[in-house]
Amino acid sequence: MKFNKIMCISDLHLSEEATVLNENFLALMGRIPESYEALFILGDLFDWWPGDDAINAYYKTIASALRALHCPVFFLPGNRDYLPNKKWLKLANTSRLPDTHSILVANKKVTFLHGDELCTEDVGYQKLRKITRKYWLQWLYQKIPLSLKNKIAKQFNRSSLKKKPVSNRVYAPVESAINQIVKQEQCDILVHGHIHQVGIYPKNSYTRVVLPDWRPNHYQSLTITKERIVLN
């Protein structure tokens, strides 16, 4: 895929209860200029995605906003919305991407990922990530009634909040993991979210961009063109 101007967002953590975030999202979708050729959502669009059996009026509203865009939309899963979402993506007229994906913006190679895979010092999470991405386990999970899936998600969130404090270094991206991706993809620009440390970080041979997490009345998107990389 090759484009001249794209927009990227991630870590919106939308939910039915997050009224202000939902309003911000719908407002942004309603004013994306025609000059943008694609929108890339790099994970955690939703605070939790239990599966296509959860689709209701709320999820249809979010899907409709994406479907109404003039440009193609691409979704790369995060650590909160990695479960299958084929039906919802069809409603949203959105294409799902693999965990790591590269495109061209003008003559620059841009690589996308969510970012959780870079935090390799969080060994416990990386083990859990590897397990939860297994197809057979996701297939089994989809057979569970929605009410039970929601209870599991709430329990998981409560357990996460009770975790003992650890060094911020554990949750930070590891330089060797970043370098491995850059070498593997031979990219000029690496874009990810997850770590909530927004910024544009120029390196010797590439530029790394960390997308912001959305908060009520504070949200940003990334624009990449031939000439510039800008957080809006």
Q: What is the mean pLDDT of residues 23-33?
A: 97
CATH code of the domain containing 182: 3.60.21.10
CA distance 52 to 142: 9
Q: What confidence tens digit (pLDDT) does each residue in 113-152 have?
A: 999 999 999 999 899 899 988 989 888 888 899 988 888 7
User: CA nearest 215: which of 196, 188, 201?
Assistant: 196
Residue 2 scores a pLDDT above 90: yes
What pLDDT sits at residue 157? 63
Confidence bin at 215 (pLDDT 50/70/90): very high
Name residues whose C-beta falls within 8 Å of residue 213's C-beta, 6 or more positions apart in sequence. Answer: 10, 11, 12, 13, 44, 193, 196, 198
Q: What percent of the chain has pLDDT over 90?
A: 77
Please, are residues 231 and 15 in contact by the beta-carbon 8 Å criterion? no
User: CA nearest 87: which of 142, 30, 24?
Assistant: 142
pTM: 0.92
CA distance 103 to 115: 17
The neighbour count for residue 73, using CB atoms within 10 Å, is 19
User: CA nearest 171: which of 125, 209, 229?
Assistant: 125
Structural domain including 25 reads: 2-231
Candidate from 14-23, 69-78, 162-171, 205-214 with smallest mean pLDDT: 162-171
Residue 164 scores a pLDDT above 60: no
Q: What percent of the chain has pLDDT over 70?
A: 93
Written as six digits, the tokens of 203 are: 């390196």
Confidence bin at 172 (pLDDT 50/70/90): confident
Q: What confidence tens digit (pLDDT) does each residue in 184-206 have?
A: 999 999 999 999 889 999 999 99
Q: What is the mean pLDDT of residues 72-98?
A: 96
Written as six digits, the tokens of 110 are: 């841009």
Residue 213 scores a pLDDT above 80: yes
Residue 36 scores a pLDDT above 90: yes
- 């083990």: which residue's tokens? 127
Question: Do the bridges between strand 38-41 and strand 189-192 make them parallel or antiparallel, or are there none, so unpaired?
Answer: unpaired
Count of domains forming the chain: 1
Name residues whose C-beta falls within 8 Å of residue 22's C-beta, 6 or more positions apart in sequence. Answer: 14, 16, 62
Decide which of 113 and 83 is more confident. 113
Q: What is the mean pLDDT of residues 60-89?
A: 96
Decide which of 215 and 155 is more confident. 215
Confidence bin at 159 (pLDDT 50/70/90): low
